[in-house]
């Protein structure tokens, strides 16, 4: 059973109550099989009168009622548990950073967690029944017929043994299927978001072929999982059928010879299948539940990782003393993303002195953005370490460290809120400070022309603003962080015209005064702001090479 899911179920009162009642109803319905078999064997053998059919009907009806109650309670427990897990998962969404694809998060929180239903409504109740009913049946068989009970005890462990052997393979192929589904859902969502750009550059058809390949990989993984599941069902049914034959044949022979009475024979034949049935059902539902278990593993991995990342660290007082911009040092840093063979950064060593302005240049995919995400704490190094004033970033409280940073991304996200709220972005800045930041970033040049000025509500992602205007608001956010000592910029002038670029460069020059600045850039105007140029290529630092037109690549 999944320990993290059960721990979460125990922590949620409504889940705990519904799940306990569900398991109780399942076990009670299973134990009523003993009463049902006793009554039916007695009526068929003539020991009980025909009137015993009435209590038998009541037992059958009560089992049906318990089955209905189990389904309702299991459904409510599953809904409550999935809601609690989604709250935890989506509560971490803001801390995941750009290294975790939003499409995969949507697939995980939606389709992935919905796949937990077979585990919560089917597998868990079957585990409870399998842990109680076979034992009760065996005890009753020992009282009724010792020989049959011995056969059942010897053959009963074969089902979980063979089920476990096949289950190991099932777990592997199901995890592979889930990864293929997450990749398909994540890539499809990212393609839909970027469809206008893809159409503009004539790459929509290529991405359609990529989605077709990913979908084929998911189909292949699904068919492989189904083959293993059908094989498991075949193995379990075969073992159970052979075990029942070992019980039924001796019972029939003994009944014919007169060494066994009819009532005992009927009771044995009615109860023996009920000893194997819970284990067979558990094995079958195990395969149906494996996709949800794989999704739960991924969800708890995300939640646990972020909780560890956000846990406050204790740093020696000497290291937390701040006297100005920090000295940043990367020591043989290597970053590898899951599912990729090549390293995004490969043994990168770099020192940025306090107050120094460093331009990071290089071709697309060379690791420039990864380096910024590393400093932001969105990505952790696979090897090496990142130091700020001799303190390892892995030992610092990331929230406290990020308060010392100002970040201007290449594609800033603007929210459906006013211009002033987008500049403040949740900070405690006063209206005067917001306007001062807007003046410094040259937002005031266009904000005054908006219908309500700084109170104008923008469209989601700044749909009613130009790229240059969105970038100026992102710079204004940085100006609203006067305590920030390190400035991180990720190609802030990309996709801008000459006039917008000049305004951004002028604002950036003022913003970088008195701060350590690390600027990812291609355009000469931004590179000229730097005291030093560092070139990345293939995840490693190489000598910078001027290209035509003065740009450094």
pLDDT 10s digits, 192-201 = 666 665 666 5
Task: Reduce the secondary structure of 143-197 to three states and give it as a string.
Answer: HHCHHHHHHHHHHCCHHHHHHHHHHHHHHHHHHHHHHHHHHHHHHHHHHHHCHHH
DSSP string, 417-434: SBHHHHHHTTS---HHHH
Task: Round to whole Å and give the CA distance between 67 and 121.
Answer: 12
| Per-residue pLDDT, 100 | 56
**By the 8 A CB rule, do 96 and 105 touch?**
yes
What the block records as the tokens of 242 is 């052979």
Domain membership of residue 196 (yes or no) is yes
As a whole number, mean pLDDT of residues 30-51 equals: 87
Helices assigned H by DSSP within 46-145: 53-91, 102-107, 113-114, 117-118, 124-144
394 and 330 housed in the same domain: yes
The secondary structure of residue 552, as a DSSP letter, is B
Phi and psi at residue 417, to the nearest 5°: -145, 180
Chain-wide mean pLDDT for the chain?
Answer: 79
283 and 406 housed in the same domain: no
pLDDT greater at residue 172 or residue 275: 275
The secondary structure of residue 546, as a DSSP letter, is B
520 and 394 housed in the same domain: yes
Which of 276, 296, 316 is the C-terminal boundary of a domain?
296
Domain membership of residue 10 (yes or no) is no
Residues pairing with 286 in the sheet:
none
The CATH code of the domain that includes 108 is: 1.20.1560.10
Domain membership of residue 130 (yes or no) is yes
As a whole number, mean pLDDT of residues 130-141 equals: 91
**Among 432, 440, 336, which Cα is nearest to 382's?**
336
Contacts 24+ apart (CB under 8 A), 293-296: 293/2, 293/116, 293/119, 293/171, 293/174, 294/171, 294/174, 294/175, 294/177, 294/178, 295/108, 295/112, 295/113, 295/115, 295/116, 295/178, 296/2, 296/4, 296/5, 296/85, 296/113, 296/116, 296/119
The CATH code of the domain that includes 542 is: 3.40.50.300
Residues in the chain: 553
282 dihedral zone (left: phi>0; alpha: psi -120 to 50; beta): alpha
As a whole number, mean pLDDT of residues 210-229 equals: 77
| Per-residue pLDDT, 441 | 77
| Per-residue pLDDT, 24 | 92
pLDDT greater at residue 79 or residue 546: 79
Domain membership of residue 94 (yes or no) is no
Whether the predicted pLDDT of 118 surpasses 80? yes
Q: Please enumerate in sequence order all residues whose Cβ is within 8 A of that of 534, keeping only pairs 6 or more positions apart, or say none.
A: 350, 358, 359, 360, 361, 541, 544
| Per-residue pLDDT, 311 | 46
| Per-residue pLDDT, 550 | 47
pLDDT 10s digits, 471-497 = 888 888 888 877 788 888 887 776 666
Whether the predicted pLDDT of 319 surpasses 70? no
Sign of CA dihedral 234, 238, 241, 247: negative
As a whole number, mean pLDDT of residues 492-504 equals: 70
* Total domain count, the chain: 2
**By the 8 A CB rule, do 454 and 434 touch?**
yes
Helix (H) / strand (E) element for 487: namely strand 486-490
Residues pairing with 518 in the sheet:
358, 488
pLDDT class of 136 with cuts at 50, 70, 90: very high
**Among 134, 158, 143, which Cα is nearest to 246's?**
158
pLDDT greater at residue 540 or residue 551: 540
333 and 231 housed in the same domain: no
The torsion angle over the Cα atoms of residues 412, 102, 183 and 377, rounded to 10 degrees, is: 80
Half-sphere exposure of 283 (CA within 13 A, CB side): 29
Domain membership of residue 415 (yes or no) is yes
Whether the predicted pLDDT of 34 surpasses 80? yes
**Among 223, 219, 239, 247, which Cα is nearest to 283's?**
239
How many other C-beta atoms lie within 10 A of the C-beta of residue 131? 14
367 dihedral zone (left: phi>0; alpha: psi -120 to 50; beta): left
Q: Is 236 exposed, middle or buried (0-12, 13-18, 19+ CB in 10 A)?
A: buried
422 and 485 housed in the same domain: yes
Whether the predicted pLDDT of 61 surpasses 90? yes
350 and 451 housed in the same domain: yes
As a whole number, mean pLDDT of residues 307-327 equals: 53
Task: Round to whole Å and give the CA distance between 228 and 207.
Answer: 32
116 and 226 housed in the same domain: yes
pLDDT class of 320 with cuts at 50, 70, 90: very low
Which of 280, 296, 312 is the C-terminal boundary of a domain?
296
- Which range marks the domain in which residue 275 is found? 100-296
213 and 359 housed in the same domain: no
What the block records as the tokens of 419 is 């211009």
Domain membership of residue 12 (yes or no) is no
242 and 337 housed in the same domain: no
Separation of CA 351 from chain center: 35
What the block records as the tokens of 330 is 């990367």
372 and 238 housed in the same domain: no
392 and 250 housed in the same domain: no
Domain membership of residue 20 (yes or no) is no
| Per-residue pLDDT, 373 | 86
Whether the predicted pLDDT of 395 surpasses 50? yes
131 and 251 housed in the same domain: yes
As a whole number, mean pLDDT of residues 312-341 equals: 67
| Per-residue pLDDT, 166 | 67
Domain membership of residue 507 (yes or no) is yes
């Amino acid at each position: 059973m999944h320990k993290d899911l059960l721990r979460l179920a125990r922590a949620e009162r409504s889940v705990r109550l519904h799940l306990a009642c569900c398991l109780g109803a399942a076990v009670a319905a299973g134990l009523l099989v003993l009463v049902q078999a006793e009554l039916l064997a007695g009526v068929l053998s003539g020991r009980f009168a025909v009137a015993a059919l009435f209590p038998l009907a009541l037992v059958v009806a009560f089992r049906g009622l318990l089955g209905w109650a189990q389904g309702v309670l299991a459904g409510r427990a599953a809904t409550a548990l999935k809601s609690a897990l989604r709250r935890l998962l989506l509560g971490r969404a803001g801390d995941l950073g750009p290294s975790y694809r939003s499409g995969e998060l949507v697939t995980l929180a939606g389709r992935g967690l919905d796949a937990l239903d077979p585990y919560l409504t089917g597998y868990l109740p079957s585990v409870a029944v399998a842990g109680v009913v076979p034992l009760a049946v065996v005890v009753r068989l020992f009282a009724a017929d010792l020989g049959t009970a011995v056969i059942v005890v010897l053959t009963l462990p074969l089902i979980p043994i063979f089920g476990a052997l096949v289950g190991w393979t099932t777990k592997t192929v199901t995890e592979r299927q889930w990864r293929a589904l997450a990749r398909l859902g994540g890539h499809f969502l990212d393609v839909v978001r970027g469809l206008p750009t893809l159409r503009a550059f004539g790459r929509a058809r290529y991405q359609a072929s990529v989605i077709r390949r990913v979908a084929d990989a998911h189909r292949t993984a699904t068919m492989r999982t189904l083959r293993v599941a059908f094989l498991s069902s075949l193995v379990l049914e075969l073992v159970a059928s052979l075990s029942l034959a070992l019980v039924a044949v001796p019972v029939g022979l003994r009944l014919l010879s007169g060494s066994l009475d009819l009532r005992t024979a009927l009771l044995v034949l009615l109860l023996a299948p009920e000893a194997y049935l819970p284990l067979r059902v558990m094995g079958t539902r195990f395969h149906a539940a494996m996709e949800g278990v794989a999704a739960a593993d991924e969800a708890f991995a995300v939640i646990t990782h972020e909780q560890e990342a956000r846990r406050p660290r204790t740093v020696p007082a000497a290291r937390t003393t701040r006297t100005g911009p920090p000295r940043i040092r990367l020591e043989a840093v290597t970053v590898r993303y899951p599912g990729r063979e090549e390293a995004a950064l490969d043994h990168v060593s770099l020192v940025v002195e306090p107050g120094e302005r460093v331009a990071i240049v290089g071709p697309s995919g060379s690791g420039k953005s990864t380096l910024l995400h590393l400093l932001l704490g969105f990505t952790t190094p696979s090897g090496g370490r990142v130091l700020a004033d001799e303190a390892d970033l892995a030992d610092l409280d990331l929230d406290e460290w990020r308060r010392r940073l100002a970040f201007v991304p290449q594609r800033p996200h603007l929210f459906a809120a006013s211009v002033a709220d987008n500049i403040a972005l949740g900070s405690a800045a006063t209206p005067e400070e917001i306007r001062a930041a807007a003046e410094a970033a040259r937002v005031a040049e266009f904000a005054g022309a908006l219908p309500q000025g700084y109170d104008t509500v923008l469209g989601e992602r700044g749909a009613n603003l130009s790229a240059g205007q969105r970038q100026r608001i992102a710079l204004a956010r940085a100006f609203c962080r006067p305590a920030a000592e390190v400035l991180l910029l990720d190609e802030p002038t990309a996709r801008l015209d000459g006039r917008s670029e000049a305004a951004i460069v002028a604002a950036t020059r003022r913003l970088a005064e008195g701060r350590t600045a690390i600027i990812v850039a291609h355009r000469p105007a931004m590179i000229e702001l730097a005291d030093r140029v560092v070139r990345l290529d293939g995840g490693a630092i190489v000598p910078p090479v001027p290209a035509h037109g003065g740009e450094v690549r």
